[in-house]
Structure 1
Amino acid sequence: MNPNYLRPAAAVLAISFTVVAGCKRHDDHGHPHDAKGGHEHEHEEKTAQITAFSERHEVFAEHKAAVVGKPTTFVTHVTDLKTLEPRREGPVKFVLRHGETTFEHPQAAPAKPGIYLPGIVFPKTGNWQVTLLVPVGATNDAISLGVVEAYADAHAAQHAEISDGPEGVSFLKEQQWKILSKAEPVAKRRIVERVRVPAVVVARPGSLAQVATPQGGRLLAPAGKSLPTLGDTVAAGQTLALLQPAFAPSTALEYTSRQAETAARVAEFTTRAVEAGAELARAKLAIEQAEVTLKRLQTLVAAKARPERELQEAEFTLKDAKAKHAAAIVVEAAYREAARAMRASQSLTGPVAPTVIELKSPIAGTVVAVSVGAVGEQLAADRVVFTVLDASRVFLEAKVPEAGARKLPEAKQAVLELPGERGRFLPVTGKGGGRLVFTGLQVDPATRTVPLVYELPNPAGRLRLGEFVTLQLETGRAEDAIAVPESALVEEGEQLVVFVQLSGETFDKRDIKPGLRDAGFVQVLDGLKEGERVVTKGAYAIRLSSISGVIPAHGHAH
């Protein structure tokens, strides 16, 4: 025999060897009874249970007391802890040791999915160390099943002192496999107190733009192209449509009147262009002032002379000023273009087609609204034709209750919980690539909340504008404590309970006292010990089983 077969798994998480007397727990589990429903012997046959774990497999075995020279059936349930399914095919091997004696009992395949039924013959009495080898790829997962005692005869086996197994809620392996239940070892982890606050997804300044008509006219498509439609991606400065100003005089009087009207429009657009130029100049000055302030605060914050929050606010102010500057450039250009087009129309000597005005997108993004019907439609002045959104990055605006705001340090880490997906968290800061851009300086007198604004990437449009989400914000409080996933908790009235796996098919319902909650985990102040295995998937089904009080038939004979 190759001694490498007996190399144990990287970590045996837990091994328990428990036994039950007769049919105490399995009255309908498939044990033989006589025709009248009574037991066949004055002394009940003993049944032992073994529950063992490796990192990859769980093994739950049941067997009668072993008698030397006679086959002993080990009803062996093998669960793949990676898939939570029964081992449906493939061999396993039982390796037994007693002193210098070692022998193997291979089993070619399960009798039914997940259940192997080897008939092992022990050659001599004594305590045998049993190991199960489960092939995984090119290696074997070695699971120690503990010690099995072999007795000299049936009389000795019947009178062996075997303690009762654990009492609790019965939930058979077949049931566990059906719902893919999962139990995990209880461990300590870093738990950070978080404040849960509602938030809404909004557009960043300068990331939402409307393309409107500067004057009335007929809508045309760009040469050789069609009008953009919903969902189209456009570039900054791209011509989305053309506008042919309304100009079709049929008489000299109408022509003169239209010329006067055109002159008035030229003057209006020129005036607006001048006003837009002034606004552009103010926006440029605002940028220069914001840059000076930011540079000064960077030096002061580095020297810890000013709080980090003021630096964040300065960055937000600079970004806002740049967005307004970019918008002012677009507005001024639009009015100057409109004035130029009107002057060109005014210079015409007869009723000929006027120059067209290009309607351009001021930003790169996606067309999210189209408010026109078709090419050739007559549009009034200031009619919004297209709305373009750059949703590659978005803002999250949260409202923090004033009492909770004091718990938050200046550098706050945040995670995002999506609506309808409780327990699934997306990082906002850190790995999420987002950052805190603004912390409110005032408390809203109506809601008694403080605004908090984060900016974060939005790949594939995962977040939608106007969507309500929940933010979990770190506080300065953190502990290393026993914690379990939220999925392990079951509500019973006002009490929270969990189910602890005592053996392969027996579970104990425990009342627990919860503490801090952190990104899908709950601190357990009382009710659990480190190393115990708690059900983290399928706990509610086990609760229903505990309520019914019915132990279903096992589905295989012993």
Structure 2
Amino acid sequence: MSIYKTSMKYIGILLVLLFTLSGCTHKDPAPAAGGEAEPIKVTAYSAKSELFMEYDPPVAGEKTGFLIHLTRLADFKPITEGGLKMVFTPSAGEPVTFTMPAPTRAGIYKAEATLANPGKYTLKLITEGKGFADEITVSEVQVLNKGEKPAEGHAGGEGAIAYLKEQQWVVDFMVTQPVRKDLGSFVTTTGELVPVSNAEATVAAPLAGIISTTRQLPFIGKRVAKGEVVAMIDPPIRPDGGIGQLGAAYAEAKNRVALAQKENDRSKRLHDAKIAPLKRVEEAELALSSAKSALEPLERSMRSVKGEGSGRIAVRAPVSGTVVEVTAGAGKGVEAGQPILRIVNTGTLWLKANLPASEIAIAGRSLDA
């Protein structure tokens, strides 16, 4: 029992000492620092640069720190080299210039400026980087008298998440000024891309035969060059087709042209000798023209078709382009003039749109704008 009383006695003494110490060390809370102005933040643009600048309200005759961020608008990356001039121009008086030879680190310049007189200044920031020069104007910098308090503004930013320039520069991110533009009207329609009229060709079989299996036909989407072999045709078993018939027809047409040419020359000589009438000359010229017309397509066929030792007919592309359609297959029979494939030069295409009649007026206004 005596031990318990002794313990309670010492505990009571300890509590009294603790309260005494706490009373001696207690002080009234210091008043919160007030009157400190929020830093001024400025964002300005030129045609090539973006400026973001922070500074404390300047006081006449005292140093003011400026933290300047400069960004190229071309790629939204920081300016990494070159000097920067800050030219403060008062409403009355000579301008004051401060120069920084290089950024403190990529995109960031730090400056301390002392402006002797209070009042409103216009600030020009002139960059002189290698291969990059620009000028940004800040329309107003207010310099206070000593003891003058800055005008109260909206501090804002409570609870906001900062996205610093240093963070923006390392990602694909960009900001720009809003621009007022007129929204154009639009029409929803369907359409198709079509080739220019002279940039499309259908490759047809020049003679009857069978598409040879010795050479694979080009697939849709394949690029072919002018003169490239795109198909081989085996001549038919019947004698009324193939390269032999074409050669015979071509030789006969050449002979007809030769005979018509001789008759034309003879009739002209007789007419000059006053033996044959003019009508005979005209008839001879007409016969020569008809013979040449019959020979021309056969000559084109002979140029486009080159037989091989095996008797096969090589069919060549008449133009360069992309194969967009194949209408025949290996081993299938084709007649003279039957399409095999279609080639389109896709370098230039036209858009063919199907407009409802009720929307033509709207589309016309859009085209005139």
Trace 1:100-115 onto structure 2 (pairs within 5 A). Answer: 100-115=93-108
Q: Find the counterpart in structure 2 of residue 541 from structure 1.
A: none
Q: Mapping of 1:58-73 within 5 angstroms? A: 58-73=50-65
Q: Is 1:215 matched with 2:224?
A: no
Aligned to 2:51, the other structure's residue is in SS state: strand
Aligned-partner SS, 2:333: coil
- Report the residue type matching 2:313 in the other structure: E
What is residue 30 of structure 1 aligned with on the other side?
none
Matched, 1:398 2:287: no
> Does residue 196 of structure 2 align to residue 173 of structure 1?
no
2:75 pairs with 1:83? yes
Tell me which amino acid in the other structure corresponds to 1:56.
K
> Unmatched 5+ residue regions in structure 2?
1-29, 250-295
CA contact (8 A) 1:361 1:388 kept: no
SS in 2 for 1:406: helix
Distance in 2, matches of 1:355 and 1:51, equals 81
Match of 1:57 among 37, 49, 62: 49
Structure 1 equivalent of residue 20 of structure 2: none
More strand by share: 1
Q: CA deviation at 1:394?
A: 4.1
Aligned match of 2:223: 231
* Alignment partners' CA distance in 2, 1:97 and 1:75: 19
Paired AA for residue 54 in structure 1: S
The residue number in structure 2 matching 1:475 is: 364
Q: 1:44 to 1:331 in 2, by over 3 A?
A: farther
For the 8 Å contact 2:98–2:113, the answer to whether it is kept is yes
| 8 Å CA contact retained: 1:217, 1:246 | no
Residue 333 of structure 2 corresponds to which residue in structure 1?
Answer: 381
State how far apart, in whole Å, the 2-side matches of 1:118 and 1:79 are: 17
1:215 alignment partner AA: G
- SS at 1:195's partner residue? coil
CA contact (8 A) 1:56 1:81 kept: yes
Please state how far the C-alpha of 1:233 moved relative to its aligned partner: 0.4
How many residues align? The count is: 276
Residue 359 and residue 394 in structure 1: after superposition, are their counterparts in 2 closer, same or farther (change >3 A)?
farther
When residues 264 and 122 of structure 1 are mapped into structure 2, their CA distance, relative to the original with a 3 A threshold, is closer
Q: Which amino acid aligns with 1:476?
A: R
Task: Tell me, yes or no, if the aligned pair for 1:127 and 1:149 is still in contact at 8 Å.
Answer: yes
**Deviation, structure 1 residue 357:** 5.0
CA displacement at 1:92 relative to structure 2 = 0.4
TM value normalised by structure 2: 0.56
Contiguous gaps of at least 5 residues in structure 1: 1-37, 248-261, 274-328, 342-352, 410-472, 481-558
Aligned residues of 1:365 and 1:388 also touching (Cα < 8 A)? no
1:407 is paired with a residue whose SS is helix
Distance 1:330 1:95 in 2: 81
- The aligned counterpart of 2:134 is 141
TM-score, normalisation: structure 1: 0.40
Instruction: Summarize the Cα distance change of 1:137–1:87 in structure 2 as closer, same or farther, 3 Å threshold.
Output: closer
Change (3 A) 1:330 1:180: farther
Q: Tell me, yes or no, if structure 1 residue 94 matches structure 2 residue 94.
A: no
SS in 1 for 2:188: strand
Name the residue aligned to 2:35. 43
In structure 2, distance between residues paired with 1:82 and 1:160: 36
The 3 A distance-change label for structure 1 pair 365 and 200 is same
Structure-to-structure mapping, 1:52-451, within 5 angstroms: 52-98=44-90, 99-135=92-128, 141-153=134-146, 156-157=147-148, 159-164=149-154, 171-177=163-169, 178-188=171-181, 192-202=184-194, 207-212=200-205, 214-216=208-210, 230-235=222-227, 243-245=233-235, 262-263=238-239, 356=311, 358-361=313-316, 363-366=318-321, 368=323, 379-382=331-334, 387-392=341-346, 393-400=348-355, 402=356, 405-409=357-361
Report sequence identity in percent.
19
Residues 143/40 of structure 1: CA separation in 2 closer, same or farther (3 Å cut): farther
TM-aligned CA distance change 1:88 to 1:162, over 3 Å? farther
Shift of 1:115: 1.9
Alpha-carbon distance in 2 for matches of 1:241, 1:356: 14
1:520-549 Cα deviation digits (max 9, x unpaired):
xxxxxxxxxxxxxxxxxxxxxxxxxxxxxx
Deviation string for 1:297-327 (max 9, x for gaps)? xxxxxxxxxxxxxxxxxxxxxxxxxxxxxxx
Residues 167 and 331 of structure 1, relative CA distance in 2, 3 Å threshold: farther
**Distance (Å, rounded) in 2 between the aligned partners of 1:70 and 1:41:** 21
Q: Rate the CA distance shift 1:389–1:150 in 2: closer, same or farther, 3 A.
A: same
Q: Which residue of 2 aligns with 1:287?
A: none
What letter is aligned with 1:406? S
Instruction: State the alpha-carbon separation in 1 of the partners of residues 96 and 187 from structure 2.
Output: 60
1:68–1:124 Cα contact (<8 Å) kept? yes
